[in-house]
Amino acid sequence: MLRYVILFVCVFAVLAQFKRGKPRRKSEKPKWNCTDIEDGLYIGDCLNFYRCQNETTRHLPCPGDLVVNEKQMWCDYKDLVAPPCGTAPNCTGIIDGNYPDYSRRCQYYYTCLHNDFYGFTKCAANLLYNPEKNNCDWAFLVKPPCGGAAEHVYPEKPDRVG
């Protein structure tokens, strides 16, 4: 559901930007040439899409702080986009499951499934992700490095397949 909301906001922002005719940030001038290229949407770089239609080029820069999400073919938040354009965790070769987001002090966890990143989930207020229970829990029940429960240390990176 959240992804559809983000998609709607991105599409609306791009359309509103073209209607006003003023980009929100400096973006490179169109360098894409649609001559002899099949109609469709193409990625220029981490900040720009190009739409080719009847050999005409239309430059579609991502608005605000959004970047190109190559997998979804829309503009998205950096933390939801894989490198090199974004900062989402790399799930390639990682066992399917949920993993604590240490950069956010385990208040969030992310899901890897079939080598793909499936987004972040935020724990309710004052709770941390507990890998042992695979749910959000009170900090005193979560072992380090996320919580304060004693005598156990989790690996800093998820296990790889194979």
Per-domain boundaries in the chain:
31-88, 89-162
Give, rounded to a whole angstrom, the gap between the first and last alpha carbons of the chain. Answer: 33
Residue 78: Cβ-neighbour burial (10 angstroms; 0-12, 13-18, 19+)? middle
pLDDT band at 158 (very low <50, low <70, confident <90, very high): low
* pLDDT value for 29: 55
Q: How many contiguous H segments (helices) and E segments (strands) does the chain have?
A: 1, 10
CATH of domain 89-162: 2.170.140
pLDDT at position 28 is 52
Q: Which CATH number does 31-88 carry?
A: 2.170.140.10
User: Where does residue 119 fall: left (phi above 0), alpha (psi -120 to 50 degrees), or beta otherwise?
Assistant: left
Secondary structure E strands in 5-90: 40-45, 48-53, 56-61, 67-69, 74-76
Going by the DSSP 8-state scheme, the letter that residue 70 receives in this structure is: T
Reported as a single tens digit per residue, the pLDDT across 27-77 is 455 577 888 889 999 999 999 999 999 999 999 999 999 999 998 899 999
Domains 31-88 and 89-162 fall in the same CATH topology: yes
Strands (E), 1-115: 40-45, 48-53, 56-61, 67-69, 74-76, 97-100, 108-113
pTM of the full structure: 0.61
Q: What is the spatial distance between Cα 145 and Cα 59, in angstroms, rounded to a whole number?
A: 45
